[in-house]
Amino acid sequence: MAEVVVVGVPDPLKGEVPVAFVVLRSGYQPNVELERKIVAEVRRRFGAIAELRRVYFVGALPKTRTGKLMRSLVRAMVRGAELPDYSNIEDESVVEELKRVISGKA
């Protein structure tokens, strides 16, 4: 993995569960087996409480012009909440890609 953002999403049973947005290093392709390996490794390292509900493979993550990851934007998008101000985003096309991936249309 090159970069990862993990955010919590509401869950009726547990209250909140983590989901991961992963940018893969070159040479790796997203697939079900890789997703299973990531979920298993997170569970092994952090325990069942941190088991990822879902892994979203994306080409890039939203960052500010100074390179800071915009976790609050990702969190709002995956929760379907109102988006925070992201006028200082480095690349606006990342927002559209995240929308497609979250909706399952990517």
CA-CA distance, 41 to 59, in Å (whole number)? 22
Domain that holds residue 56: 3-103
State pLDDT tens for residues 7-50: 999 999 989 999 999 999 999 999 999 999 999 999 999 998 88
Residue 106 confidence (pLDDT) above 60: no
Q: For the chain, what is the domain count? A: 1
DSSP string, 36-91: HHHHHHHHHHH-GGG--SEEEE-S---BBTTS-B-HHHHHHHHHTPPPPP-TTBS-
pTM of the model as a whole: 0.91
pLDDT above 90 as % of the chain: 89
Rounded Cα distance between 95 and 104, Å, is 14
- Rounded mean pLDDT of the chain? 93
**CATH number, position 12:** 3.30.300.30
Q: Does residue 66 carry a pLDDT above 90?
A: yes
Q: Which residue has the tokens 């559209």?
A: 96
